[in-house]
Amino acid sequence: MSQPAETPPAPPRIDRTAADAQQRAAGWRMDRLTSALVPTMGALHEGHLALVRAARERADRVVVSIFVNPTQFAPTEDFASYPRDHDTDLAKLAALGVDAVFMPETAEVYPPGFATTIAVAGPGEGLETDFRPTHFQGVATVVAKLLLATQPDIAIFGEKDYQQLMVIRRMVADLTIPVRIDGFATVRESDGLALSSRNAYLTPGERETAPVLHRALQTAAQAITTGGNPAQALDAARAALADAGFVVDYVELRNAETLDVVTNPAAEPLRLLAAARLGKTRLIDNIAV
């Protein structure tokens, strides 16, 4: 006998204004339902979908935000060409049973006269900031706005953007925003390349080279954990990347919790972080040591 067809999940509710998202959040609160937010810039891939599945397990309701945030891009960066495919994104989210999507226009997030910026020092200094000086100000400001609009109990961020995760944790603690921030392990291709919307920019030849970034970090981590000199391990990773054709922005060893420069590698939690460019594509990656 044939099984009755499963009813597909209802399409998510779409909110385009903060007021609508806040009204939806108030309804869930009245019904004593917890919610988890997954903030994204769209062009959704399996990394994002893993975050959404984790959100599903951790709360009664799941909300995803899709907003390509202009203030985190420098004028020379790829804001205009950043991949956008809302129909495909919404179909993927509907298939996962996402309850609500917050998809504001730029003018809703940044109305005329907008004049507030959140700047996070500490983990927001150095590494990415040396190459994208205003990036985390844009990220922190928009994430604060996304949290205020969607009002989740939990927000989930990928460890692929490790410094971003630390910046958000710091901001939420400092501003006493009532939300739990969860990190989620980096989802990788079978050859180790971290999934990223920007991987779509890689030419076939660059795509073959790209996993060298993760391999260089693994080799350096292995050298450090087996008692090798950290400075030499970092130099070797930089050289391996340059040999493969990358232009290296940084390969650094940092305290995994504060992102401070490491003073006592034997006694601190360690994280290796790197950013490097292949042609016009800038890749970032990081691993625990």
CA pair distance 174, 181, nearest whole angstrom:
13
Using alpha carbons, select from 114, 97, 104 the residue that is nearest to residue 42: 104
Q: Residues for the chain: how many in total?
A: 289
| Residue 134, φ and ψ in degrees, nearest 5 | -105, 5
Site for ligand BAL in 218-277 (CB under 6 A): none
Residue showing tokens 């495909």? 88
**Is residue 47 within 8 Å of 158, Cβ to Cβ?**
yes
Q: Would you say 142 or 256 has its CB closer to ligand PAF?
A: 142
93 binds ligand ATP (CB under 6 A): no
Task: Name residue 25's amino acid.
Answer: A
For the bound state, the minimum distance from the C-beta of residue 98 to ligand PAF, rounded and expressed in Å, comes to 15
Q: Would you say 161 or 252 has its CB closer to ligand BAL?
A: 161
Site for ligand PAF in 60-79 (CB under 6 A): 69, 72
Q: Compute how many residues bind ligand BAL; rule: CB under 6 A.
A: 3
Q: Compute how many residues bind ligand PAF; rule: CB under 6 A.
A: 10
142 binds ligand PAF (CB under 6 A): yes
86 in active site: no
Which long-range contacts does 228-234 make (Cβ < 8 Å, 24+ apart)? Answer: 230/262, 230/265, 234/272
Report the C-alpha dihedral over residues 118, 124, 130, 134, rounded to 10 degrees: -10
Q: For 38, which DSSP code?
A: E
Binding track, positions 173-212, relative to ligand ATP; x by CB under 6 A: -----------x-xx------xxxxx--------------
Q: Would you say 153 or 161 has its CB closer to ligand BAL?
A: 161
Binding track, positions 16-55, relative to ligand PAF; x by CB under 6 A: -----------------------xxx--------------
CA pair distance 101, 234, nearest whole angstrom:
41
281 binds ligand BAL (CB under 6 A): no
**Is residue 251 within 8 Å of 232, Cβ to Cβ?**
no
Site residues (vs ligand PAF, CB under 6 A): 39-41, 69, 72, 139, 142-143, 161, 164
Site residues (vs ligand ATP, CB under 6 A): 40-41, 47-48, 51, 157-158, 160-161, 184, 186-187, 194-198
